[in-house]
Chains A and B, each alone.
Chain A
Amino acid sequence: EPEVTQTPSHQVTQMGQEVILRCVPISNHLYFYWYRQILGQKVEFLVSFYNNEISEKSEIFDDQFSVERPDGSNFTLKIRSTKLEDSAMYFCASSRSGTSSLNEQFFGPGTRLTVL
């Protein structure tokens, strides 16, 4: 069964460093998402991406964040200068559609980011 994959599973970085989180969405899906979950809290939407551009972003997704689909399979989230409060689990998700009955989102296993 097709699934969303993410790498790395765990990333430790120093404050101020850049990190890139990678995702491979399900192959016939067209909509891609990033969410994050701070330890012990609920999952929060960061950004949605369709047709090579951002569809929507939350207030959390400030100028330090960017997303890219560099090729036909990968979808990346970059944090330019990490802060302590960026420590969280980051989930990638994808869906076939954005509005119809095919808008079920499937999540990857997550990347746990720890900023020291």
Chain B
Amino acid sequence: GIQVEQSPPDLILQEGANSTLRCNFSDSVNNLQWFHQNPWGQLINLFYIPSGTKQNGRLSATTVATERYSLLYISSSQTTDSGVYFCAAVPLGATNKLIFGTGTLLAVQP
């Protein structure tokens, strides 16, 4: 089955810094989503981005489907950005079950 790998596993930033999180996937996909898991455990939808680029405030994401990776950019980070960021993918031609990566644990320090 598809492998979804994320890097880095952990990241510590000072407030105001920028960061890039990476998600590699081993097969073509028809669904690629980014989530933020907050300290209460809730999964917050950030982006639905099987291809292309999207922006939402300080966050943006790019998926290069032909090269099988996606990037999540966080600019001017805030302490509320702390938590775990997951990417998840559905392989092309498969049923719509999301395969999650192992996540990136982000800590933003004041």
CB A23 to nearest CB in B, in angstroms, measures 14
> Could you list some 28 contacts between A and B, CB below 8 A?
A35-B98, A37-B41, A42-B86, A42-B102, A43-B88, A45-B98, A48-B95, A48-B97, A55-B95, A56-B97, A58-B97, A89-B41, A93-B98, A95-B96, A97-B96, A98-B95, A99-B30, A103-B90, A103-B96, A104-B48, A105-B98, A106-B45, A107-B35, A107-B42, A109-B41, A110-B41, A110-B42, A110-B43
Q: Tell me the count of chain A residues lying within 8 A, CB to CB, of chain B.
A: 27
A105 touches B41 (CB 8 A): no
In the complex, which residues of chain B have a beta carbon less than 8 angstroms from the beta carbon of A112? Answer: 41
Could you list 16 further interchain pairs (A-B, Cβ under 8 angstroms) beyond the known A31-B96, A44-B100, A109-B40? A33-B96, A33-B97, A42-B100, A42-B102, A43-B98, A43-B100, A45-B97, A48-B95, A98-B95, A98-B96, A104-B31, A104-B48, A105-B31, A105-B33, A105-B98, A110-B43
Q: Which residues of A contact B42 (CB under 8 A)?
A: 107, 109-110
Distance between Cα atoms of A48 and B100 in the complex (Å): 15
Which residues from A are CB-within-8-Å of B40? 109
